[in-house]
Structure 1
Amino acid sequence: MAPGAGRALVPTRRFGRGRGLRRPRPAPAPAAMRPALTALWLRLAVAVALAFGGPLATRRASARAPIYVSSWAVRVSQGYQEAERLARKFGFLNLGQIFPDGQYFHLRHRGVVQQSLTPHWGHRLRLKKDPKVQWFEQQTLRRRVKRSLAVPTDPWFSKQWYMNKEVKPDLNILQVWSQGLTGQGVVVSVLDDGIEKDHPDLWANYDPLASYDFNDYDPDPQPRYTPSDENRHGTRCAGEVAAIANNGFCGAGVAFNARIGGVRMLDGTITDVIEAQSLSLQPQHIHIYSASWGPEDDGRTVDGPGILTREAFRRGVTKGRGGLGTLFIWASGNGGLHYDNCNCDGYTNSIHTLSVGSTTQQGRVPWYSEACASTLTTTYSSGVATDPQIVTTDLHHQCTNKHTGTSASAPLAAGIIALALEANPFLTWRDMQHLVVRASRPAQLQAEDWRTNGVGRQVSHHYGYGLLDAGLLVDMARTWVPTRPQKKCTVNVLHNPTPILPLMHVGNNVSACAGSHNYIRSLEHVQVQLSLSYSRRGDLEISLTSPMGTRSTLVAIRDAVPLHAAALWDGGGHDIAAPGPPGDQQRVCAAGHRGAVPG
């Protein structure tokens, strides 16, 4: 699937969709024949058990039975001398104390076989009768295995280069799996064009409580099948998160034991109501919502969530997951070919979403990538046609290795975050943003705009803080100290230049609300709401510079894209092509996501 098909080509205002046979029962036998038949059946059953079950059953029972060894753990109250007396009396060899307190000792008897299926009853009776022995136990063999997870046996796992260590560095998924973390207990819902819930690589993890069809308003999110398979997107994203591992089919999801749901909401008329309902589905049950869609990535549209959707975000982060906050994972956008900028997308630049960008296998900026200040982290995806792409589930119970774009990057991040939630279920939505910032590394990612911010972190408008490292994220999640309650400080700046100059600087001494109850101790997010009037917004570049010198581009020049009147938006999705004041009136809201640390 081409990148544009996943995220840019979305519906409406974004272009927007057997039973088996039963064998009849035989007629019952006459009453006089029943005893004879019963006796025959019993004899046959015994014969089968002896022929096929005897030796095998014995071996299985032996594997489960304890195997006793020639050593004992003994507790005596009077220390080493008492243990020595006991050993000499009963013929044991005293191997020394087990703990430094001198009460528990390790004894071995040379006259006892090294391994036995039965305990030594004679020594048991002798130790039991001795008044100085407080406790004893003949030791048994314990089977223990190293928790290094075997590589999944799925036939396409060898093609999943982004997590099988074929590329260096990969997303470091194997390290997390080796710790026994696979997404168990975490629920992820993919908001898209549906999910093939009976797919052989999804059905066992499918969660109906995390699913709904808001296009037809019924509980079944099964996609609508068409000749062009245009509604394959949600199924592909779901497989990246939670495709079943070790089932001999396709590949493995990042969190292959997580529960996966699907919301069908992009295959029909899209409204603010439908978006809000989708983002509010079962907020106490669903932990992570993964969304790989947004306004058109055409380089002209400035659009974002409506009133109800913004309220859904607010309620999600304040009330979801029992007050810890819902996690909204968002693809940054595929409009790079059109010089689109994800700062103009009100979903990715919301402080409530965690925006994810893409890089190729070679660590290059993909041709479809959008650069913006709101991107926090990056995972792998496709590049040019000859580059490897993402392996996942596909419609009609199939697999594909052609999933592409930032549509493929966001679900990978959602799966990694599910692993971190399994390690620490008490992380808040803000905790997770802090952790993602710290677990993202520049690695080998190539870009011209890497800069070191005021606190020494490298950051790029293409990649955010870099490639997400699952092992590092999980390790930090285990010991993370929760963040303090969020506070907000608002500063108003009024500037009336006439006219707007080619280079204009608007400065303000921000005190962070010092002396008030909402004093900001450390900076996580910066939101700039800018209202201006200008003849051609494609000529505007707007940047924000912190006191420590970190410069974030909020709107970049998009001179290569012609501006058409029908494409003018005021930021809330309202067409303003009708006659009005001269110039392009717009409201720009850019979230300085790259906050999360001061700088």
Structure 2
Amino acid sequence: MRPLALLCGLRLALALEVYTNSWAVRIPGGASEAGRIARKQHFSYLGPIFEGSDYYHLQHRGVTKKSFNPHRGQQLLLKKEPRVHWFEQQTLKRRKRRFVSVVPTDPWFYKQWYMNNDVSPDLNVLSAWSTGYTGKGVVVTVLDDGIEKDHPDLVNNYDSKASYDFNGNDPDPQPRYSPSNENRHGTRCAGEVAGVANNGICGTGIAYNAKIGGVRMLDGIITDIIEAKSLSLKPQHIHIYSASWGPEDDGKTVDGPGILAMEAFYRGTANGREGLGSLFVWASGNGGFHYDNCNCDGYTNSIYTLSVGSTTERGEVPWYSEACASILTTTYSSGVKNERQIVTTDVRHRCTDRHTGTSASAPLAAAIIALALEANPALTWRDMQHLVVRSSNVALLKADDWVLNGVGRKVSHHYGYGLLDANIMVNLAKKWETVRPQRRCLIRVISSPQTIATHLVVHRNVTACAGTPNSIRSLEHVQARITLSYSRRGDLEISLTSPMGTKSVLVDVRPYDTSTKGYRDWSFMSTHSWDEDPQGVWSLELRNKGDYNNNECITHCRGLACPR
């Protein structure tokens, strides 16, 4: 869909960028030409960003590592080089590990309730194991703050080829230790996937015969280059990338991957796994306390990632969980203080039963996907998303927004298509036939600026490119690409209704989002119309729902979540 332009009370709001001494450049002609230009302009040549690409990483030791101002002189020198087709001085990215800082009082359980029939339904892992699938032959890498590769419950499954330290620029992803053990996140996620079975240590990973790697990329300066290199590490060796991080979950940030990280997602799905496509599994986010919406996170909101939400052992929406239309599936995690959490490996060769948040949910889904990939190694990245949709079910998940979409599937903004079932997934995977090639149909909805006060509805009769090579009869992802300005961005609810009557809330009200910047060429995504026929009337609706006095709510709730 083409940009929707709205003008109302526009004011400028500036955010300070922090510039580094790294540059990304695109130089056709190979590594020798890139090296020549680097030497000529007194840069250090740090190699290609992607294997076999024209994108290179340059660094200038004469430029300060952190500055609020771009280096105009170096920009001008690069601009004058005819062989440099594109360049960008790298800026710092704000990325947070998606863990929840909860210190429970529960006793140590040593039981993985979410996969051992202690709750009903669980993730149905025992049934998947009984058919012989344990992740053998599948490589999973955790993109995080490192992985304790010598942990006794990981060492036998550790894969050095699937690991790297982009913070320290060396092959060893061992986490940096500190008194508070803040760099434990990646090790905890890794144990959920591939903790070794039958060795008397900690618990068992769901894909306990898979190989596990770790990328240390969150414990230091984070740039677009570092993210892109992490997302594109060994794409012919690594099958699944599991990530439990993203922009600030503060209810007011709208941010996503930069140019290079977006390129990494595209290249991974187009070329990874010998053309079948790399699989990117992503935690949906922990901004529920701030009424954040994961469609304002360009990583979970991407068609190339498989976004995973959380539910508690009681089938309730966790207090930290974000809702959005791009969530595809759900696995278990923690709830309130007296509810159980996730058992896994911990740093310093320890174990923990205190892994929490959507950070804990995404690796469980990555591990189940590894079982399905063992059952059918020929699955493409889109096949896997189809399988996830069909292997998720409402179960006992409680939410007030469950609806039946146009093809009869129940779907929720909190849970996607429901709780993931490992046994259903491996059984479907064994007999799955590859979907047809992806088609994209682009439709201009609004081409001239519109003005909105409190409500705007736009209807468009869509043929879905019928009669052209891009004709679509069965939907997967729907994206609404919107540009708007508004006096208070967080007051807007934007929704999209399909011809078959399925309403997707593209972004809900965010009381803490007081930005006047609006949305600039932002692609909102929904999976709620999966398999529907797109032909017919689509309705895009924008509504101001901030009339309940956001400021009063935020001021007087005194640390408690404001009621809706």
* TM-score, length of structure 2 as denominator length: 0.75
Cα distance between partner residues in 1 of 2:337 and 2:465: 51
Query: What's the CA shift for 1:14?
Result: 2.7
Cα distance between partner residues in 2 of 1:591 and 1:564: 21
Query: What's the CA shift for 1:163?
Result: 0.2
Q: Which residue number corresponds to residue 94 of structure 2?
A: 13
Cα distance between partner residues in 2 of 1:516 and 1:331: 37
Distance 1:514 1:312, change over 3 A: same
Query: What's the CA shift for 1:356?
Result: 0.1
Q: Which residue number corresponds to residue 296 of structure 2?
A: 344
Which of the residues 249, 269, 283 maps onto 2:201? 249
Cα distance between partner residues in 2 of 1:416 and 1:355: 14
Cα distance between partner residues in 2 of 1:282 and 1:185: 16
Q: Which residue number corresponds to residue 359 of structure 2?
A: 407
Which of the residues 430, 433, 438 maps onto 1:478? 430
Q: Which residue number corresponds to residue 428 of structure 1?
A: 380
Which of the residues 478, 484, 487 maps onto 1:532? 484
- Structure label with greater radius of gyration: 1
Cα distance between partner residues in 1 of 2:325 and 2:412: 8
Amino acid at match of 1:410: A
Cα distance between partner residues in 1 of 2:96 and 2:445: 38
Aligned pairs (5 A) from 1:169-568: 169-494=121-446, 496=448, 499-559=451-511, 561=512, 563=514
Contact residue 495 and residue 506 of structure 1 kept, 8 A: no
Cα distance between partner residues in 1 of 2:279 and 2:490: 33
Cα distance between partner residues in 1 of 2:322 and 2:251: 10
Aligned pairs (5 A) from 1:104-183: 159-183=111-135
Distance 1:475 1:15, change over 3 A: closer
For structure 1, the 5+ residue unaligned runs are: 1-10, 17-155, 569-583
The secondary structure found in structure 2 opposite 1:528 is strand
| Cα displacement string for residues 292-329 of structure 1 (whole angstroms, at most 9, x for unaligned residues) | 00000000000000000000000000100010000000
Contact residue 293 and residue 331 of structure 1 kept, 8 A: yes
**Higher RCO structure (Cα 8 Å, ≥6 apart):** 2
Contact residue 12 and residue 268 of structure 1 kept, 8 A: no
Cα distance between partner residues in 2 of 1:391 and 1:251: 7
* TM-score, length of structure 1 as denominator length: 0.71
The secondary structure found in structure 1 opposite 2:220 is coil
Amino acid at match of 2:374: E
Query: What's the CA shift for 1:12?
Result: 5.5
| Cα displacement string for residues 396-419 of structure 1 (whole angstroms, at most 9, x for unaligned residues) | 000000000000000000000000
Q: Which residue number corresponds to residue 587 of structure 1?
A: 521
Amino acid at match of 2:285: G
Cα distance between partner residues in 1 of 2:515 and 2:492: 16
Cα distance between partner residues in 2 of 1:157 and 1:244: 18
Aligned residues: 432
Amino acid at match of 2:389: V
Distance 1:562 1:357, change over 3 A: closer
Query: What's the CA shift for 1:592?
Result: 1.5
Query: What's the CA shift for 1:495?
Result: 5.5
Q: Which residue number corresponds to residue 531 of structure 2?
A: 597
The secondary structure found in structure 2 opposite 1:289 is strand
Q: Which residue number corresponds to residue 12 of structure 2?
A: none
Contact residue 110 and residue 202 of structure 2 kept, 8 A: no
The secondary structure found in structure 2 opposite 1:159 is coil
Amino acid at match of 1:480: W
Distance 1:595 1:211, change over 3 A: farther
Distance 1:423 1:366, change over 3 A: same
Contact residue 209 and residue 261 of structure 1 kept, 8 A: yes
The secondary structure found in structure 1 opposite 2:167 is coil
The secondary structure found in structure 1 opposite 2:455 is coil
Query: What's the CA shift for 1:587?
Result: 3.4
Coordinate RMSD, CA, aligned: 1.5
Q: Choose 321-330 or 488-497, whichever is displaced more.
A: 488-497
Amino acid at match of 1:405: G
Distance 1:430 1:15, change over 3 A: closer
Contact residue 377 and residue 440 of structure 1 kept, 8 A: yes
Query: What's the CA shift for 1:509?
Result: 1.1
Distance 1:403 1:172, change over 3 A: same
The secondary structure found in structure 1 opposite 2:457 is coil
Query: What's the CA shift for 1:158?
Result: 5.2
Distance 1:229 1:434, change over 3 A: same
Cα distance between partner residues in 1 of 2:374 and 2:198: 20
Contact residue 96 and residue 245 of structure 2 kept, 8 A: no
Contact residue 157 and residue 252 of structure 1 kept, 8 A: no
Amino acid at match of 1:598: E
Contact residue 157 and residue 251 of structure 1 kept, 8 A: no
Amino acid at match of 1:528: A
For structure 2, the 5+ residue unaligned runs are: 1-91, 98-107, 534-564
Cα distance between partner residues in 1 of 2:280 and 2:422: 18
| Cα displacement string for residues 460-502 of structure 1 (whole angstroms, at most 9, x for unaligned residues) | 0000000000000001000011100111110012255653032
